Amino acid sequence: YPDGAPRFRMIYVNGGGATNHGKSLELSGRQTLRQFFNAGGSYCGSCAGSFLSGRNVDSSSNRRLGYLHIFPYNTLNTGLKKEQLDHVIPDDSPLLKYRQFGTENRVEGVYHNNGNWMSLEKGEHLEHTEVLAIYDTPGKRPDQGAAIWAYKVKAETGRVVNIGSHPEGVKTGDHLSLTEACFLYSLDGTGVPNIKGKLVAGEMREMLADTTDKTPAFAKIGDGQIHHFSFQVEVCIAKTVIDISTEVDVQLNLYLSQDLSGITTDERAYRVTGAGGNKSLRVRLAPGTWYVAVECANRVRAVKDDSESYYVYDDPQGLLNGVAYSVGLQQRLRRRYLRVVGPVASVK
């Protein structure tokens, strides 16, 4: 998005050659993926995709060039090629919230080709790594080690879900369910909303900046994006007015709630939706912290090229570069506080 926030909730990276894959992105591409994760987008990778997220492999002490390092630990090579490995889902695995698996939570015969694993016996990774599935491969190197694991330590980042094998290659049954559960857990780990700033009574906040301005707190809003703001209601406030306006022919929706996480979905939230971009809310609010969400309901259309090898984005409104708008706060004092002097503006 124009402010650097992730346009998508999750990126999935499949198998191949992790180092060459990462180097082919060049530094700018790797930095973009790191920004995606650090700004709240989740990452799921299988086999090479799992290696790619990490720091390095086996006992190497340096950070490997070409890797993303968003999972800040080394992973281990299994040394196993073109094998079918059983996976066991522990009873406390979050994957069981999304899908159920066969007898004793066992997924049999998952294809594996030079993938990775993690030891559950020692290593600095144990404190922050969440084990989602375990290899059950008696007599082989990764036996009873982590086959699938997750990492998320900061609320504002996304979640990394790494898969050492290839369940994604099967379209039915437990293998499909395993892939689906990994995707869903990754999606549920996206970062908390970022607050653009505090609205000040009597002032209009102009959201006019382009990406190149490098002022994301004042950036234009992208297609399907939601911007969040906060403001304070003191006991002296009788009425609050929130206004949004734009000169662009788009639909901007306006939401108001004390619950930031569910502001656009909570039926109890104040809202003004529908055609057009100029909207206003006039409400009496309880004292405390309140949140405003501005949503650009218009979306850029993505259509597959005739070759079906890539998408073409149809953007006649220029939404990809963002929509300029303004958001303002006005607050009216209760009658007995009218003599109070301060930054609170009067609303007629």
CA angle 261, 266, 270 (to 5 degrees): 105
pLDDT of residue 339: 53
pLDDT of residue 337: 63
Same domain, 297 and 214: yes
- What SS3 state is found at 63? coil
| Dihedral sign for Cα atoms in the order 26, 31, 32, 33 | positive
Same domain, 156 and 237: no
pLDDT digit string, tens, across residues 189-237: 999 999 999 999 999 999 999 999 999 999 999 999 999 999 999 999 9
Same domain, 260 and 116: no
Distance separating alpha carbons of residues 265 and 165, to the nearest angstrom: 36
pLDDT digit string, tens, across residues 42-60: 999 999 999 999 999 999 9
DSSP string, 24-39: HTHHHHHHHHHHHHHT
pLDDT digit string, tens, across residues 142-159: 999 999 999 999 999 999
Residue 308 CB contacts under 8 Å (≥ 6 apart), including other chains: none
Pick the last residue of a domain from 187, 212, 240. 187
Strands (E), 39-171: 42-46, 76-77, 83-88, 106-112, 116-117, 129-136, 146-151, 160-163
**CB burial readout 248-262, b (16+ within 10 A) else e:** bebebbbbbbeeeee
Copy the structure tokens of residue 262: 């569910």
Pick the last residue of a domain from 187, 205, 224. 187
Same domain, 223 and 303: yes
- β-strands 195-198, 226-233: how paired? parallel
pLDDT digit string, tens, across residues 287-302: 999 999 999 999 998 8
Same domain, 170 and 303: no
Same domain, 201 and 222: yes
Place of tokens 């993303």: 68
Copy the structure tokens of residue 4: 């650097």
Q: Which helix (H) or strand (E) holds 205?
A: strand 204-207
Q: Identify the domain containing residue 44 by its residue range.
A: 10-187
Q: Looking at the domain assignment, is residue 47 inside a domain?
A: yes
Statement: residue 23 has pLDDT above 90: yes
How many secondary structure helices (H) and strands (E) does the chain include?
4, 20
